[in-house]
């Protein structure tokens, strides 16, 4: 065997090994994102009242404030894992990636993370201010509460819905996910897009679907 052919085989083996590790990296990042975001959203829903006028008990309770602060501290790590998940999913699709869907996929994912961070920052500022002062102004709390709610439920989760719909569409076109995952992705995306304002708990559909998708990728790595 010549040195040139041996070098080509070695390079191909390295590329193949990297491609086999990429799906597992996407799966681990997706599972980590789903667990962190799901825990953060659940803690916030349990601790923060739905109506701004009912926040007095939560603000005066150090335990509730600590729960919300812990949940908000999980958001940056969830966002980092989500970015890794986006990158490795694109690597998995590879040369079969459609430019239109790829643009919407990447743009909706980045917008989701950006608005998630902004909403968490506004909520964190409110909670920190409530802990430093003896009395939180009702007007300030009401404004911050509505801004946070609008960022997370109206904008961020709808971008998350577009991300889920686009990922399901890419999966259907490239056949890298089974049909049942595509159908469930369309259902979850439509619910997030049009029905998330009905109940805050519907936001958990996003991390749940990504958790299922990541588990499938982890258990069924790509075969060349």
Query: Whole-structure pTM over 0.85, yes or no?
Result: no
pLDDT (0 to 100) of residue 16: 41
What's the farthest any 2 CA atoms get from each other in the chain? 80
Distance CA 204, CA 188 (A): 10
pLDDT (0 to 100) of residue 224: 45
Taking CA 75 as the corner, what is the angle to CA 72 and CA 77, rounded to the nearest 5 degrees?
Answer: 130
Residues 6+ apart with CB under 8 A from 9: none
Distance CA 41, CA 39 (A): 6
Q: How many residues does the chain have?
A: 224
User: pLDDT tens digits for the chain (224 residues)?
Assistant: 454 443 444 444 444 444 444 567 778 889 999 999 999 988 888 776 666 555 555 666 667 777 888 888 999 999 999 998 888 777 766 666 667 778 888 899 999 999 999 988 888 887 776 655 555 566 777 777 788 888 888 899 999 999 999 999 888 888 878 899 999 999 999 999 998 878 778 889 999 999 999 898 888 755 44
Which token pair is 158?
């709808």
Closest listed residue to residue 169, CA positions, set 88, 105, 83, 82: 105
Distance CA 150, CA 163 (A): 18
- Which tens digit of pLDDT belongs to each residue from 115-168? 999 988 888 887 776 655 555 566 777 777 788 888 888 899 999 999 999 999
């Amino acid at each position: 065997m010549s040195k040139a052919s041996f070098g080509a085989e070695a390079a191909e083996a390295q590329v193949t090994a990297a491609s086999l590790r990429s799906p597992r990296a996407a799966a681990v990042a997706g599972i980590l994102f789903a667990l962190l975001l799901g825990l953060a959203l659940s803690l916030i829903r349990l601790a923060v009242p739905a109506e701004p006028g009912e926040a007095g008990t939560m603000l005066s309770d150090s335990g509730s404030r600590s729960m919300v602060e812990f949940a908000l501290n999980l958001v940056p790590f969830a966002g980092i894992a989500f970015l890794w998940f986006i990158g490795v999913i694109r690597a998995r699709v590879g040369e079969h990636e459609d430019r239109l869907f790829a643009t919407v996929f990447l743009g909706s994912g980045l917008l989701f993370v950006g608005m998630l961070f902004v909403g968490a920052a506004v909520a964190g500022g409110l909670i920190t201010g409530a802990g430093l002062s003896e009395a939180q102004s009702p007007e300030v709390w009401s404004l911050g509460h509505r801004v946070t709610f609008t960022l997370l439920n109206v904008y961020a989760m709808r971008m998350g819905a577009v991300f889920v719909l686009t990922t399901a569409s890419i999966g259907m076109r490239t056949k890298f996910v089974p049909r049942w995952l595509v159908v469930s992705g369309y259902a979850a995306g439509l619910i997030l897009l049009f029905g998330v304002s009905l109940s805050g708990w519907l936001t958990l559909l996003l991390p749940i679907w990504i958790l299922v998708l990541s588990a499938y990728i982890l258990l069924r790595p790509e075969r060349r």
